Chains A and B, each alone.
Chain A
Amino acid sequence: MSKQFQFKLVLLGESAVGKSSLVLRFVKDQFDDYRESTIGAAFLTQTVTLDDQTTVKFEIWDTAGQERYKSLAPMYYRNAHCAVVVYDITQTASLEKARTWIRELQRQADPSIVIALCGNKADLAARRQVTQEEAKKYAEEEGLMWCETSAKTGEGVVDIFTAIAKKLPLSAPPSSRTGGPRGGPSGSTRQGVDLNRQAASQNDGEACNC
């Protein structure tokens, strides 16, 4: 018997790092070279099916990265189960901004929130300013998931959402969870995970409790 879970996911990160493009690739498998800046936030949903036929539906809040919308972000990350904090591998400053977002999430969001750090624009590796080592080391220190993606080519996009789905507590339907930290053993341990290497190997056994 397959099970369906629903989780709220928020995207954060500096303006123009490709948050909306990541979502567009994930939800519609499309890419626009020129996208207008997001105003406020956009809402979309997409479902991923895991190996054991468990489906996870993401309610995605794609927030605006421009500084002027920063004060609105808590409305979107509050009550979120997971966050994807995006930086642009060709812009060092965008990783700094990502660190700021992560600190804010660690302080203000639900303590059990699953955070993934995502270096986008991997297709522009020739102009890379942020090394994989640097980002990965930071993610490990902070207990975040980490990966690089390219919304343009699609590389890594589905993988990161799938990996998040696997890391979320799938041991009980979200609706039946009451009080306290969220269930699943995977949700409460904050380990650095290198998605590029071992995305498929986690927690497969825990998803099904039928």
Chain B
Amino acid sequence: MQTVVANILAQIESVLIGKPHQVKLALACLLAKGHILIEDLPGMGKTTLANTLAMTLGLSYQRIQFTSDLMPADVIGIAIFDEVKKSFQLHPGAIFNQVVLADEVNRASPKTQSALLEAMEEGRVSVDGVTHQLPEPFFVIATQNPMSHAGTYPLPESQLDRFMMRLSLGFPSIDAERKILQSTTSHRDADNIEPFLQVEQLREIQQHIAAISVAPAIVDYVIALCRMSRQTDSKAKALSPRAGKSLLAAAKSWAFMENRDYVIPEDIQAVFSPVCEHRLAPQQHHIFDEADELSQHILSLVDPTNPLP
């Protein structure tokens, strides 16, 4: 299983040059059944990452470009009267795909955003009183522009919370940038990306990750981290139990990618920042791979060997 994962990583890295850590985090997030929010400036490779992830996993995939005039119906789909059957039939929107790339999600109106985000959490949509199950597995990869850019609607905290991770790609290194500039193929050529996984395999992996053991000491560590964020003198927003759950899930996934069947504090530390920073400081936006101050601060306050003294 791990070799498959390694292959996937290698393929993505060949397309998205110079960002192995972010790629690994993104894959870990998907394997943990989480949704990803990629936040960065335009042209940093957000869409490329999302694209490649979806293609590599061999899942049905559709991209929605969010604009300010995008309607919820455009995302979810619309019920149209079928004259033959004499009934309303759903014309499924882009969301009825296993992987949905919501590009520039913060450019859409809040109404549209919430339609998407509701679907993310529930795993189903209701159109005209009829509930439709979304396909399984179901991932949303959203990208967003920094808030300062014109024409954006910031995502509310409650909705940010639904993304397991928030990633930022940042500028490439000199070497990576040179490679990017010299490469002849466009990243939009999806042809040479092969799917590496069958749906069955993906399910298997996900089950395996769910079965990874978490020792009480690790749970204590997560609890200690969450409690630390809730202290009154903390500048951060408090971490909810859902955040803790996400943290554990992501850590398990990370442990799987590190070839372990148990979680160690290093896993928690590795995923803590992407999982928690956007929950701790929703209004601050980390661009250009800035230091995740709050999460690093909280990490530095908790002793992993003796989390709850």
A complexed with B: no
